[in-house]
Amino acid sequence: MTDSAPTAIPAAARRNHWMNQVATHAVMKPDAAAFRFLGATTTWTQTRDGMDAFAAALARRGVAAGDRVLLLTLNRPEVVISVFGINRIGAIAVPINVRLTPPEIAYIVDDADAEVLIVEAPLAPLVAAVAQLTDRVKRVIVIGDTAALTDGHEAWTDLIAEDPAGFEAPDVPEDTTALIMYTSGTTGRPKGAMLDHINLYAQSITCIRANNVVDESDISFMTAPLFHIAGLGSIAADFIIGIPTVIHPLGAFNATELLDAWEREKATIVFNVPQQWQVICADPSIPERDLHLRIISWGAAPASDTLLHAMADTFPHATNVAVFGQTELSPITCVLRGEDSLRKLGSVGKPIPTIQYRVVDDEMKDVAPGEVGEIVYRGPTLMKGYWRKPAETAEAFEGGWFHSGDLVRQDEEGFVWVVDRKKDMIISGGENIYCAEVENVLFAHPKIIEAAIYGRADERWGEVPVAAVALAPGEELTIEELHGWLSDKLARFKQPKALVVVPALPRNAAGKVNKVALRAADRELTPA
């Protein structure tokens, strides 16, 4: 009997990342829908073939493992296929928020040190404006209308039409960086959070558990922008389970069009931010619609108690799931399950079981339940670090835990309430005032549509809270009237000392209220 060396199993055949997940479904159910977009279907076979063809085309153009490829795009299947193709060769996809200004985009282009940019046709003028500020980009690939092509640009469809013969995809380990997601930068320049395939797989487990996905009967509906981690992160689980993802086009939010799409596509899992849910719940057509919603999910911003009650009343047969987190954690860190959504109003839920967390004081000592502290994390969803920013990475991970910047309190059952962002806390006369707590009360005022609390310097108290509010059409509100309404709802020291009425709250490109802008404009605004 002669011994023979065992045949080695190629590592690439065993990898657990979304490129192999797509390949699996292309083998097992080739003609099933991977994506639906504006009524058109992209099968798993088409997704795999597009991924491989795009990867081969990028490789022929000199893109290699570790290179960064920028995406200035909206929502459509070609964007996801592009990300798969970029990752297929071990390169890194860098989505850019399309709401940024040319100088902000130029900063990311230079910081990422990327030479290839994929742009959707309607956004081509942005590329021209950015080109006036940086010459870093050497190659532009256009998705969509080829009429938008200019000299030197290439059509995305031409790249995937090229023959990929001879292309061999490299083995891409799971700890390879897949995405660089730039944070919104409300307190300074954006930082690029490096997320690897391990992060995305761990995030998928969280989504599967939160939404109780147990088979392939669900239809996932994606409204969140693909340039946010809420977009790619929320659909990462779809590629493991192999359920279809309906991608909703970006544009001015229209609740009727969204409800039409939910009804037409028989969507079962949906996610929207609280502002969108507020408009959706007010749509009078809902009782007559044939909706199949099983999970209604929200996150990215606080939801008022009033809105949560409205969601429960409007969709009584759907499970309400709140998700909370941040880009650096891929992003979900806490989940509020539907059965607790009304029992624990205002909570963001419990930390997910796949991460470690603590609630600590400024000296990194654990605080008792009910006390306010910063929530810190570590675990498989934690980013690899900030791109080319070792000092910022070290600062964020000081003491061996990632510092979220979120001030929270936790009850005896383990449920977490976000009290404020650490940097937004107001200290007035020695008392800590947590903006989120005051804002949650203001949201319930019948005249107030939007509200934000920020600090104004005060000679006596050091700082006092100011309320910036947008009112319902035709309404008026005085600070005296507001104080009367708040008298039994908030301690006096927490109540706003001034009221500023604005048409709408300023928001950054990520849709978050820009309190830096509110403070900067405070002297120009006229208190009511």
Per-residue pLDDT of the chain (528 residues; tens, 9 = 90+): 455 666 789 999 999 999 999 999 999 999 999 999 999 999 999 999 999 999 999 999 999 999 999 999 999 999 999 999 999 999 999 999 998 889 989 999 999 999 999 999 999 999 999 999 999 999 999 999 888 678 789 999 999 999 888 899 999 999 999 999 998 655 567 899 999 999 999 999 999 999 999 889 999 999 999 999 999 999 999 999 999 999 999 988 899 999 999 999 999 999 998 878 989 999 999 999 999 999 999 987 777 788 888 999 999 999 999 999 999 999 999 999 878 888 898 899 999 999 999 999 999 999 999 999 999 999 999 999 999 999 999 999 999 999 999 999 999 999 999 988 787 888 888 787 888 889 988 999 999 999 999 999 888 788 899 999 999 999 999 999 999 999 888 888 899 999 999 999 998 877 788 888 898 888 665 444
DSSP 8-state secondary structure symbol assigned to residue 511: S
- If DSSP codes are grouped into helix, strand and coil, which group holds residue 467? strand
DSSP element (H, E) containing 28: helix 18-28
C-beta of residue 115 within 8 angstroms of C-beta of residue 138: yes
Alpha carbon distance 484, 132 (integer Å): 54
| Cis status, amide bond into 465, omega within 30 of 0 | no
Q: So what's the pLDDT on residue 470? A: 94
Q: So what's the pLDDT on residue 2? A: 54
Domains with residue ranges and CATH for the chain: 43-172 (3.40.50.980), 192-422 (3.40.50.12780), 425-520 (3.30.300.30)
Alpha carbon distance 97, 110 (integer Å): 15
Alpha helices by DSSP H, 377-477: 390-396, 435-442
C-beta of residue 402 within 8 angstroms of C-beta of residue 329: yes
Helix axes 77-88, 18-28, angle to 10 degrees: 110
Contacting residues for 90 by C-beta, under 8 A, at least 6 apart: 64, 65, 66, 170, 172, 176
DSSP, residue by residue, 309-342: HHHHHHSTTSEEEEEEE-GGGSSEEEEE-GGGTT
Q: So what's the pLDDT on residue 526? A: 47
C-beta of residue 198 within 8 angstroms of C-beta of residue 175: yes
Q: So what's the pLDDT on residue 528? A: 46
Q: So what's the pLDDT on residue 491? A: 82
Alpha carbon distance 133, 101 (integer Å): 11
- If DSSP codes are grouped into helix, strand and coil, which group holds residue 500? strand
Query: Which pTM does this prediction carry?
Result: 0.88
Structure tokens at 42: 């992209």
